[in-house]
Chain A
Amino acid sequence: MTRADRSHFVYVTYIRTTPAKLWEALTDPRFIHQYWFGTTVDCAWQKGSAWKMVRADGSLTDSGEIIEIDPPRRMVIRWQNEWNPELKAEGVSRCTIELEPIDSSVKLTITHEIERPDSNFIVAVSGGWPRILSNLKSWIETGEVAITTHPGHRAVKAEGAGER
């Protein structure tokens, strides 16, 4: 069975917003760092663009490339860990982000997969995504995030992104 050769997960959340606003939240570095624990993304968001996740101090956490992009519906990122030698050695993963409007919400689906069984990389990112998605949802819906990494960094008020 080919499914046994890969590791993957599918996470879904429903956010009360529009696809355009959610797409902006997913691609604008000023927005990303609000709900991604201060990390942000450096990318031109075109097919073939380099994609880099960068900490507040400028250090690289993950890198890759935009394989497919169709705003505001879908993007596929080639994604490789850069900060942990063991996870980096597992090679390239593939992250698919899909947005689908349903009534007054958007269904956001994240599929992350790697072509190897029992991947520690997938275990690591699967632990991070629920917190990021939960933060993203509360940030878009209420203008505040629940989780921040920096102890002194209180919930941040969004500017113009809240929809209440």
Chain B
Amino acid sequence: MSDADPLFKALADAGRRKLLDRLHAHDGQTLSELCRHLDMTRQGVTQHLAVLEAANLVAVTWRGREKLHFLNPVPLQEIYERWIRKFERPRLKALHDLKHRLEHDGEDSPPPRPRRSS
């Protein structure tokens, strides 16, 4: 999926990740507001925002003459499903198997639990 290239590229920079954190803390900020809390030049912030916008990690809306920047987590959800959730499954199965083994260890002395009737 080539859609993911600009996304991973955008995330591969500490300054841009910091910008995402700033928006997570306070969504819908102007460029000036974002610059106030960051140790970056205005030009640097503008460039980083352009990369984040191209990767669809930042969405922009206009309110009058103010350009507001919003964190857009939808592509992160897509990464989560494609690259994280998939790899969680084997671990969950391992945990499930461990639980099963522990609970059925020593079948001659069943655990002191009420039996389910249904």
Residues of A within 8 A of B (CB): 3, 8-14, 109, 111, 129-131, 133-134, 137-138, 146-147
Contact = CB atoms under 8 A, between A and B. Distances in A.
Nearest to A16: B3
Contacts of B76: 130
Contact of B77 (A3, A109, A111, A133): A133
Given A9-B70, A13-B56, A134 B61 contact: no
B70 A133 contact: no
B78 interface: yes
Nearest to B61: A10
Contact of A133 (B27, B63, B71, B74): B74
Interface of B: 3, 27-28, 56, 59-61, 63, 68, 70-78, 81, 85
B59 A109 contact: yes
27 contacts: A3-B68, A8-B27, A9-B70, A9-B71, A10-B28, A10-B59, A10-B61, A11-B73, A12-B56, A12-B59, A12-B74, A13-B74, A14-B3, A14-B56, A109-B59, A111-B61, A130-B76, A130-B77, A133-B74, A134-B77, A134-B78, A134-B81, A137-B78, A138-B81, A146-B81, A146-B85, A147-B81
A131 B77 contact: yes
A133 B78 CA distance: 9
